[in-house]
Structure 1
Amino acid sequence: MRTNPSDRILSQVVGGTLDSVAQEMSAVVTRTARSPLFNEAHDFTTGIFDLPGSQSRLVAQAPGCTLHLYAVVSAVDRLMEAFRYDLHPGDVLLVNDPYYGGSHSLDWTIVTPVFHGRKPMLLPAVRSHMGDNGGPVAGGYNPRSRDIWQDGLRIPPIKLYERGEKRRDVFEMILGNNRLAHWLEGDLDAMIGACKVAAERIQSLLERYGGDAVAEAVDSRIAYTEKRVREEIASWPDGTYTAETFADHDFQGMQDIQVRATVTVSGSDLAIDFTGSSPQVAGFVNSPLSNTTSFAFVAISTCCDEDIPINEGYMNPVTVTAPLGTVVNPKPPAPCGHATACVGAEIAEAVLLALSQCAPNRVGVNAHKLPLAYSHGQYEDGRPWVNLNFYGYTGGAGAAYGTDGWGLYPPVMTGVILPSIEMTELQYPSRVLQHEYKADFTGPGRWRGAPGLEVRIQHLADSRTSVMMAGVRHTTQGFCGAGAGPSNRVVVDEGRPGALEVPETAFNVGMAAGGVLAFHRSGGGGWGDPLDREAEAVLDDVLNGYVSVEHAFADYGVVIQSIGKKPVLDLPATIAERDRRRSS
């Protein structure tokens, strides 16, 4: 059946308008929030959902923290289940519980229903990483957590506003359980304000075109995305493809935690099955189902054309199976506080490694094995501060077919912005002493990963730091014959007696004023055989300081001579060396 051209135009108009509304929501949060996590780092995601039946659908989104994207879907569904028969104009809903559609309890989701007639039709939503979440440890990451309550405050589906009236008692309960209450209320107001602005824009859209026309346009846009994604999947050969990867540990003594993904391509349908993954563990790396699904869809979306609108259509061709009681779908009350980094990174990596067997030219770029270290202390007036030390997490972007790794954040953090050093030094008692690329610290390949970084952050006041290492033994993998990234390293109180190079974890380590945190952050994995990299590109990397002459030879078989002080490519010797390696 042919589609009326005017219907196609309206679908584009409505879809583009909703995308713009989501982007305006993002701007509202950035410009009005108090926390540097919001107004500097942009560690949040905004989107719009509809409610055509019993479940919500993602309709539009703005660039943000990509790993939030599909986890929001589950959170919105849980909120709708809780309040389906008690929703009213002016309601504002909140949830953060990992077992109610959350990922880890530091990610909070705010939703406001927009009514057409007497029915909730569209749902603006904001999901944000909060600076603190109560619990035993400042900042919310507790490597000693043994259950979900030790991760921090659990917030099941609740109402912050009811029929437009603020529930002050609920607000006070939440603020009273947060170390950064002086930021938190302003951040919540920014999230709520973004949803209210979106509600006004959506009401104008509904008044202009009518509810039926908007609903049809949304259906058409989702169908278009699904068609494009199915075409991509159908271009991959049918079959079953399996891969596995490992997290180093669970911070409680369990080693080598396996994530196994079996991907089955059948026509335009794709099934992802995590059967064979490790049982849930004692430590706080267990990934609730919504987080697992989100990382799986992030992996799929990186394999499709970037011009495809991001909405529910991405999900329709894909089914995800994760056995209950495993590290990718734990039973409560297993702790989940670190799941958005570990084992989230391994979930996406395993899916991409499996897809590399059927769609090699589409995979790559995933690298998220973060060496997480956060510090806390007090300002001179006694107020607490919590610094996530963002600069130590930069780097790690892997390569893909046709392109070297790029940027300072891996793709699962796309939309997160590196905070301004100057603003960071104003907001915290800290100095960023070093933040620069580190030579020979990336995965080699036909296309290499982004260079790793060397970072040193000095805290000017007494502080305490907890460190959670990842990517030390099981480093970020390369694809299609490429090399993996190197090991991450973190040193606490570098340069002083008693400096600690963290093997796996460090808990609440004290540093006197002037102490330095040193990060050696791995670069990303490569793509393709390093012997296939153009020799001239390797020479450029040497000239740019990304690769040393010694590693050009060791990793790529490229012979570079020094004539005077200038490195010069010896092409005949390079060809001979590469031929020798290939033949052996």
Structure 2
Amino acid sequence: MPQPESRTGGAVDPVLFEVIRNALVEATEEMSVTLQRTAYSTNIKTRLDYSCAFVDADGRMIAQAFCQPAHLVTIGRLVPRAVAEYEAEHGEGTLGPGDGLLVNDPHRQASHLNDVFLIAPFFHEGALVGYVANCCHHVDVGGGAPASIGAFREIYQEGIILPVVKLFDRGHLVDDVLKLMLANVRAKKEVAGDLRAQHAANEIGLRRLSALWERYGTATLGSYMERMIGYSEQRLRAELAELPRGEFAAEGCLDDDGITGEPVRLKVRIRFDGATARFDFTGTDPQRAAPMNCNLTQCFTACVYVLKCLVDPDIPLNEGFYRPIEVVAPEGSAVNVKPPAGVVGGWEVAMRLCDIMFRALADPMPERVPAGTKGMICHVGFGGEDPATGEYYCFLETLAGGYGGRHDADGPDAVQTHIQNTQNAPIEETELNYPVRIHEYSLVPDSEGAGRQRGGLALCREYEFVGHEPTFTTLADRARFPAHGLHGGDDGKVASYGLISGGEARDLGSKATVQLATGDRVRIETAGGGGFGPAHERDPEDVLRDAREGKISRARAREAYGVAIKPGEWAVDLAETRRLRRSPGR
């Protein structure tokens, strides 16, 4: 393993290097714990849809808590832009101790409007050292539907747009900014509480960093942070030298853009030359007047994530990791959107990019690349007047699905995939705090892509609303294009989104906003993961186990895997299985 080098000629103490590196990460981890424990909304305190980081005075990412892969790049790209914009307007050096900048504008390279960033400068002995920052997905930021998700044509319909503004001035809350934001959102209590939790997290980060700087001083810490960046770059370039060289291409489609019904085509060409990684999205569809676009930061995040999965996981993630990566994304395309297009579905786009990039690398790297996954964030949001309190409420969650089968393992069932690391909202907490009943929360049998290593099963969630008439939105995908199988494996089952009203069921599609009547139910079945390798090569005992656990039916065991299970008992009929697997077409 390469050792950290000194670019300034000084000696590097490897023990001190690790102490400082981990101390910086732990400062962000303590920010993370503080944010979780002081937040109000389920989406943050339970589902953990947030991230915390430390950025140096030059705007370079130094350390980040283990939270959301979707925010791997966003904070590092946003902070220097936000600070530069604020100081260009108000004067260089106008930020001081206790200040806090608020921003969520995707066209300033944040993510979507729900992701609200709070940035605080860190000073030591009067000198600017860096910034602590966090990002939280707020349960509502206004817009055309509760939870601020939906098929909107322009970003102006998606919610309140926050340019770079001060929420805290020398430690004091700027009440007018908070009032303006709360006047534009539905879930006022949750949003106000979560903003204060973001401030508390930054304050803890500043305290921990202050203690670290008091102990080691700016000279030592500055030198070692420089070496940390160089070390990550050095390690990544060493890993790139071991990856297959060449160009690898793939493409795929989102179901539709949410407005026209036309699929959104995404293309990528990846080049590894032994020292750099180039991701070229030329040929991707132009941006739409619709929500299914992502900005360059979200696109870059997907590329960083994919590369991180292919190399040694021990490489620290900081500015040095980004240096060998080049992203070509034509401006005005669905992966590098220009205003005023919508971006609320941007993470849905970035998630699908991960699947497509892995598909491009499936042949040169079969032992490292999984089959297709649920391939979407799968946003679900609803809100209305709570019949018990008379107050307006909002709820948002994202639903899990099947992961792809891998070279040596099945795909996990009902998990969040790729850049998504949120947890599922527990039924008990959801029903306790919101006027909804969860009638079913289960795996979807026979939803896996069959294979030597099968794909993971999809998730079913069925909601019923009693005593009021809420608005319900899905912003998701995978209803038309399934998770792909690899190396002879089958595709997974597509997702379905249905409304059950008055005893009749109808399809909603993957992107819809509907007004519900009392007693209506919404049933969502997410997508299953793709299979890896031919299904007839799967161990019959593994097929039997899946059938016995209710994950697949006896009929599917026979038809998809060529495994016959004896009637009335849980045992493989070996003779019939051999016959089935010798039959033409297997």
> Could you tell me the TM-score, scaled by structure 1's length?
0.92
Is the 2:35–2:198 contact (alpha carbons within 8 Å) kept by the matching residues of 1?
Answer: yes
Q: Report the alpha carbon displacement of residue 414 of structure 1 after superposing the two structures with TM.
A: 4.7
**1:575 Cα shift?**
4.7
Secondary structure of 1:21 counterpart: helix
Match of 1:450 in 2: 456
AA matched with 1:363:
V
2:128 paired residue number? 120
Query: Shift of residue 28 of structure 1?
Result: 0.6
Kept in 2, the 8 Å contact 1:369–1:475? The answer is no
Partner of 1:532: 537
Secondary structure class of the residue paired with 1:102: coil
Residue 445 of structure 1 and its aligned partner are, at CA, apart by 2.3
**Counterpart of 2:147 in 1: which secondary structure?**
coil
Offset, 1:129 = 0.6
Does 2:566 correspond to 1:562? yes
Give the 3 Å change call, closer, same or farther, for CA 278–298 of structure 1 in structure 2.
same
Structure 1 residues 547 and 535, CA, compared in 2 at 3 Å: closer, same or farther? same
Q: Would the aligned equivalents of 1:136 and 1:142 in 2 still touch at CA under 8 Å?
A: yes
Change in Cα spacing, 1:474 to 1:435, as seen in structure 2 (3 Å) is: same
Shift of 1:361: 1.6
* Residue 541 of structure 1, CA deviation: 1.4
Corresponding position of 2:363: 357
Shift of 1:501: 1.9
Instruction: Give the conservation status (yes or no) of the 8 Å contact 1:63–1:414.
Output: no
Aligned equivalents of 2:154, 2:338: Cα separation in 1: 11
Contact 1:469 1:502 in 2 (8 A): no
Instruction: Work out whether 1:552 is the aligned partner of 2:557.
Output: yes
1:363-382 to 2 correspondences below 5 Å: 363-364=369-370, 366-379=373-386, 380-382=388-390
User: What 5-or-longer segments of structure 1 have no aligned partner?
Assistant: none
Larger mean Cα displacement after TM superposition, 469-478 or 11-20: 469-478
Match of residue 467, structure 2, among 447, 461, 482:
461
Matches within 5 A, 1:18-29: 18-29=24-35
Establish whether residue 91 from structure 1 lines up as the match of residue 95 from structure 2. no
Q: 2:527 maps to which residue?
A: 522
Other-structure match for 2:69: 66
Which has the larger displacement, 163-172 or 101-110? Answer: 163-172
Query: Is 1:325 aligned to 2:323, yes or no?
Result: no
Separation in structure 1 between the aligned mates of residue 315 and residue 308 of structure 2, nearest angstrom? 9
* Aligned with 1:289 (options 296, 313, 317): 296
1:278 aligns with 2:288: no
AA at the equivalent of 2:410: D
Whole-angstrom distance in 1 between the partners of 2:185 and 2:547: 49
CA distance in 2, matches of 1:467, 1:411: 18
The share of aligned pairs that are identical, in percent, is 29
Provide the residue aligned with 2:164 in structure 1. 157
Matching of residues 97-246 of structure 1 within 5 Å: 97-143=105-151, 145-246=152-253
Q: CA distance change for structure 1 residues 314 and 364 in 2, over 3 Å: closer, same or farther?
A: farther
How big is the shift at 1:407? 5.4
- Matched position secondary structure for 1:434: strand
Q: Which stretch of structure 1 is more off in the superposition, 363-372 or 182-191?
A: 363-372
What is the CA-CA distance between 1:44 and the residue it aligns to? 0.9
Which of 381, 400, 410 in structure 2 is aligned with 1:404? 410
* Aligned AA (1:523): G
Matching of residues 291-310 of structure 1 within 5 Å: 291-310=298-317
| CA deviation after TM superposition for structure 1 residue 389, in Å | 5.0
Please say which of residues 118-127 and 259-268 is displaced more in the overlay: 118-127
Aligned match of 2:395 in 363, 376, 387? 387
* Counterpart residue type for residue 533 of structure 2: G
Match of 2:51 among 30, 39, 45: 45
After TM superposition, give the deviation of residue 486 of structure 1 in Å. 0.9
On the 8 A contact 2:490/2:530 being kept in 1, the answer is yes
Give how far 1:13 is off: 0.6
Deviation track 1:449-482 (CA, whole Å, cap 9, x = no partner) reads 2211222222223222123351011122233432
Deviation track 1:79-120 (CA, whole Å, cap 9, x = no partner) reads: 122235222111111110001111211111111111234442
Aligned-partner Cα distance in 2 for 1:441–1:551: 10
Which secondary structure does the structure 1 equivalent of 2:135 belong to? strand
How far is the alpha carbon of 1:316 from its aligned partner? 1.8
Aligned residues between the structures: 572
Q: SS in structure 1 opposite 2:304?
A: helix
Equivalent residue runs for 1:453-532 within 5 Å: 453-462=459-468, 463-492=470-499, 494=500, 496-512=502-518, 514-532=519-537
CA distance in 1: counterparts of 2:574 and 2:169, whole angstroms: 72
**Paired amino acid for 2:572:** L
Structure 2 gaps, min length 5: none
Shift of 1:560: 2.1
1:345-380 CA-to-partner distances (Å, cap 9, x unmatched) read 221122111122322222227433244332211123
Q: Which moved more, 1:221-230 or 1:444-453?
A: 221-230
**Structure 1 residues 370 and 116: CA distance shift in structure 2, 3 A:** closer
**1:13 is aligned to 2:19:** yes
- Match for 2:295: what amino acid? P
Q: 1:519 Cα shift? A: 1.4
Cα deviation for residue 37 of structure 1 reads: 1.1
For residues 498-551 of structure 1, what are the alpha-carbon distances to aligned partners after superposition, in whole Å with 9 as ceiling and x for unaligned?
A: 543213543232221x32221112222233333333332222212221122222
Runs of 4+ in 1 over 4 A off after TM superposition: 1-6, 579-582
Q: Deviations over 1:51-77 (max 9, x none)?
A: 3x3xx2222222222212212222212
Report SS of the residue matched to 2:240.
helix
SS state at 1:235 partner: coil
Q: Within 1, Cα distance between the matches of 2:61 and 2:581?
A: 50
Contact 1:142/1:150 (8 A) holds in 2: no
CA gap of 1:555–1:451, structure 2 versus 1, over 3 A, is: same
- Deviates further, 539-548 or 356-365: 356-365
| TM-score, normalisation: structure 2 | 0.92
CA displacement 1:221-276 (0-9 Å, x = unmatched): 33333333333322222111110010010111141211100000101311000000
Letter in 2 for 1:357: D
Describe the shift of the 1:454–1:358 C-alpha distance in structure 2 as closer, same or farther (beyond 3 A). same
Q: How much has 1:171 moved relative to structure 2?
A: 1.4
In the superposition, relative to structure 1, how do residues 579 and 219 fare at CA in structure 2: closer, same or farther (>3 Å)?
farther
Paired residues of 2:397 and 2:424 also in contact (CA < 8 A)? no
1:576 Cα offset (Å): 5.2
Change (3 A) 1:137 1:527: same
